[in-house]
């Protein structure tokens, strides 16, 4: 969804539900939204919002509004779940296998072909956690910068799966 209509949707839904909090964008890449009780601010991930449908953005906004309305300390418990249902959204996580992911541009590959993704270039040598539970020079990761493409978590997982017959 485009950012300008998403911002307007957030402001409209916040007003509709009597929430006079601030709205801001953040740079999160793994979570869709956040409620900050200290600053009375709801934030949405700029990166993920651009990859989401209007329905996914609406669900995320209502999810965060429910947190704001029930107050700090309820997490995703029964009080929050009741409020989420009252607002007309599902009382569950916004993200999941069919939710878009912001591609991690740094892809590390080990000698066995396992792929690991990072949003920032690693500053120190890393080894494959699938090949060895402790650091192992034998399983060092080789890092490459890969331009991003839009995909869901499920698609990303399918792309990085290594066929069983190539493991041995």
* 98, 153 Cβ separation under 8 angstroms: yes
Residue 151 in domain? yes
129 & 79 share domain: no
80 & 9 share domain: yes
Nearest 5°: phi and psi at 118?
-140, 145
Q: What does pTM read for this prediction?
A: 0.74
Question: What's the angle, vertex CA 152, arms to CA 45 and CA 90, rounded to 5?
Answer: 65
Residue among 23, 42, 48, 24 nearest 104 (CA): 48
Boundary (domain end) residue, out of 87, 117, 152 = 87
Q: Which domain holds residue 50?
A: 3-87
Question: pLDDT tens track of the chain, all 168 residues?
Answer: 999 999 999 999 999 999 999 999 999 998 999 999 999 999 999 999 999 999 999 999 999 999 999 999 999 999 999 999 999 999 988 777 778 888 889 999 999 999 999 989 999 999 999 999 999 999 999 999 988 665 555 555 555 444 434 333
Question: Checking phi first, is residue 18 left (phi over 0); if not, alpha (psi -120 to 50) or beta?
Answer: left
Residue for token pair 């007309």: 88
The domain total for the chain is: 2
Cβ count near 24 (within 10 Å): 15
Segment 95-132, tens digit of pLDDT: 777 788 888 899 999 999 999 999 899 999 999 999 99
Residue 92 in domain? no
């Amino acid at each position: 969804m485009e950012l300008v209509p998403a911002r307007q949707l957030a402001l409209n839904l916040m007003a509709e539900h009597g929430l006079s909090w601030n709205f801001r964008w953040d740079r999160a890449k793994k979570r869709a939204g956040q409620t900050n009780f200290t600053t009375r601010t709801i934030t949405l991930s700029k990166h993920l919002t651009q990859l989401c449908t209007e329905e996914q953005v609406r669900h995320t906004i209502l999810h965060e509004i429910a947190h704001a309305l029930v107050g700090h300390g309820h997490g995703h418990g029964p009080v929050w779940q009741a409020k989420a249902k009252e607002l007309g959204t599902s009382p569950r996580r916004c993200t999941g296998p069919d939710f878009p992911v912001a591609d991690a541009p740094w892809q590390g590959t080990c000698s066995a072909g396992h792929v690991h993704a990072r949003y920032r270039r690693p500053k120190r040598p890393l080894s494959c956690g699938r090949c060895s539970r402790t650091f192992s020079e034998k399983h060092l990761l080789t890092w490459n910068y890969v331009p991003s493409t839009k995909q869901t978590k499920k698609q990303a997982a399918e792309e990085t799966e290594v066929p069983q017959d190539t493991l041995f």
